[in-house]
Structure 1
Amino acid sequence: MSYAEINGLSLYFEEHGSGEPLVLLHGGFGSGEMFAPILPALAEGRRVILVDLQGHGRTADVDRPLRPELMADDIAALLKHLGLARADMMGYSLGADVALRVTVQHPQAVRRLVLVSTPFRRDGWHPEVVAAMDRMSTEAAETMKQSPIYEPYARLAPRPQDWPVLIGKMAEMKRQHYDWTTEIPPITAPTLLVFGDADAVRPAHMVEFYGLLGGGLRDAGWDGAGRSIARLAILPGATHYDIPTAPGLAATVLPFLDS
């Protein structure tokens, strides 16, 4: 467990195992702890680097907005801090946005990319999810203390009193329009997309994402020669909210990372 002083942040990270480096990036309001159920499997034979993103977990907030693009630069700086030329990236939800932006902004730093349960465009979420994002505000902070996401924040945060600040910054970020359509096709890192079959991301958007990466555009042929380097996995019975602990997640990700 350690901190890296980068980009004005004291960025918390911890390392587990040894071997090919794999950076794990958690979802919004969470921390690296959310990967605890699958960490042993992922750390067997690889060097897993768990990171708490800006304002999350043990990383205190700083005076800048929450943006995937800025947090992606933090992760690239962390790799340099650790003396790593490149690493595999795996992110869930907000962490997947950050992992994607690392790949776009620092393509040489990513060997393989795993994106779990996130769209590349804001309207990729189901409409009711977008509506809920639009309703989020700082005023909801007190009510949200009753939700399961508050307990780990209060336990880990250097300044638990910043809870309303995190809610406000997340609300402001989630109201931002974004569309990364044109930035997906140039990605050269082999990429695995993972969604639940009851996800907050629309199924049609999942397929569109896969297509932008070159997947599913043609028959692979009897010998598989027409298969793209992208992969798409749909986990049965998984939602956006429980997919980080879904039994099939590690079993889906590990063969991809090892291939």
Structure 2
Amino acid sequence: MKNSIKQLLLLFAILLFGISSAQVEMNFKFDTPYGKNQTVGKYAEINETKIYYEAYGKGEPLLLIHGNGGNIESMGNQIDYFKTKYRVIIADNRGHGKSELKTDSLTYAQITKDWDGLVNYLKLDSINIIGWSDGGIVGLKMGISGKSKINKIVAMGANLRPDSTAVNSWAVKSVMKSKKMVQSKIQEQDTTQDWNLQNQLLGLLGDQPNIPTKDLSKIKAKVLIIAGDEDIIRNKHSLEIYNNIPKAQLCIMPGETHFTPASNPELFNTIVNKFLSEPFKRPSSDWTKW
């Protein structure tokens, strides 16, 4: 049982909280206390839930959406870099950080609705989005819903399905094993951790999302699909997403993982900044059309 619990905690550390593993070292040391910054932190009542958010910089609004089990601090490397170029807005997703959960069945649809609600609350006319992992999924879903006017979306390590056609099989098996462990702790009425919350977070990873590929054609924004060549997401799945979005670019970063926004922020931020700052292009190598 002790080994199983260690495996569970390691899963949450790596997949959810973005803590460094033996192979991937990440930076989460910042001069600004992101996620706990009392000088800028605020709450918004969105969909009957208190959502905590922080904003930095001036200019065109740029939403940063963190991954499963993460929080505002998880994307501190992106806040540091982009706050000098944009009005960066980042929130703790529902059930994460300082934001309330207020549900027994957390879904990407609900988190997407919360973000669209925050855009409306802040009266943002047009936005850009950088979403990491679950944040990338939410970014794509916001593009599909069309409720917010979006100029560009960067989706890092996003997937449309939770199965092994989209996610590497080792990750699928690990999540399934951890779900069983958490559910057993709930049945035992263990109170050492908030197992209900962790069960819902694992439910996001193991049972969701379920986005039909054809829905990607609804996205009007320009999109950068980005992933590491050793990502949790299969390379062919990132290619599938790219191929089905009308205005998209694809970047598979060599020698990189799912955690590049924190393990190699210089590379990630440079690629993303180029996409956001330059006019969108999707040229063709087909010389027969020139």
Q: How does the TM-score come out when normalised to structure 2?
A: 0.73
Q: Does 1:169 align with 2:200?
A: yes
For structure 2, the 5+ residue unaligned runs are 1-40, 186-190, 279-290
Q: Which has the larger radius of gyration?
A: 2
Q: Whole-Å Cα distance in 2 between the matches of residues 200 and 89 of structure 1?
A: 21
Q: Whole-Å Cα distance in 2 between the matches of residues 32 and 110 of structure 1?
A: 21
CA RMSD of aligned residues (A): 2.2
How many residues end up aligned between the 2 structures? 229
Which residue of the partner structure matches residue 129 of structure 1? Answer: 171
For structure 1, the 5+ residue unaligned runs are 144-159, 215-228
Q: After alignment, is 230-239 or 101-110 more displaced?
A: 101-110
Which residue of the partner structure matches residue 276 of structure 2? Answer: 257
Q: Whole-Å Cα distance in 1 between the matches of residues 148 and 72 of structure 2?
A: 24
Structure 1 segment 149-168 matched on structure 2, within 5 A:
163-168=194-199
1:250 deviates by 0.5
Identity of aligned pairs, percent?
26
Structure 1 segment 83-232 matched on structure 2, within 5 A:
83-122=123-162, 123-137=165-179, 139-140=181-182, 163-176=194-207, 178-214=210-246, 229-232=247-250
Structure 1 segment 30-45 matched on structure 2, within 5 A:
30-45=70-85
The alignment partner of 1:233 has SS state of: strand
Asked whether the 8 Å contact 1:112–1:190 carries over to 2, the reply is yes
Asked whether the 8 Å contact 1:2–1:12 carries over to 2, the reply is yes
Q: Does 1:24 align with 2:64?
A: yes
Q: After alignment, is 196-205 or 237-246 more displaced?
A: 237-246
Q: Whole-Å Cα distance in 1 between the matches of residues 78 and 211 of structure 2?
A: 31
Q: How does the TM-score come out when normalised to structure 1?
A: 0.81
Offset from partner CA, 1:130-157 (integer Å, 9 cap, x none) = 12222222744999xxxxxxxxxxxxxx
The alignment partner of 2:233 has SS state of: coil
